[in-house]
Amino acid sequence: MRIYLDNCCYNRPYDDQTQLKISLETQAKLLIQDCIKNNKFQLVSSYILIFENAKNPYSGKKFSILKLWIKA
């Protein structure tokens, strides 16, 4: 199965995890990420994701997200 995650998904783990909805969405994203690493899903990307990520003012977050694409 091919999976496309938008930029909000990639940034969700950096959001305030004290809110239940955000915490659940983060857990779901991390589960999907594990499935991608274990070759259960194939990650699909786009130039828009790369463009949006490049605009991220937080370099640590930007490079962490970029590494996810490189490993996939």
User: Token digits for 33?
Assistant: 């990420």
Domain of 52 in residue numbering reads as 2-71
pTM (whole model) above 0.75? yes
At residue 71, the pLDDT reads 66
Question: Element (H or E) spanning 3, and its range?
Answer: strand 2-4
Can you say whether the dihedral through the CA atoms of 31, 32, 33, 36 is positive or negative?
A: positive
Give me the number of domains the chain comprises.
1
Per-residue pLDDT of the chain (72 residues; tens, 9 = 90+): 999 999 999 999 999 999 999 999 999 999 999 999 999 999 998 999 999 999 999 999 999 998 887 765
Which residues contact residue 17 at a Cβ distance below 8 angstroms, ignoring those fewer than 6 apart? 23, 26
What are the start-end ranges of the H helices in the chain? Answer: 7-11, 20-37, 47-54, 59-71
At residue 69, the pLDDT reads 79
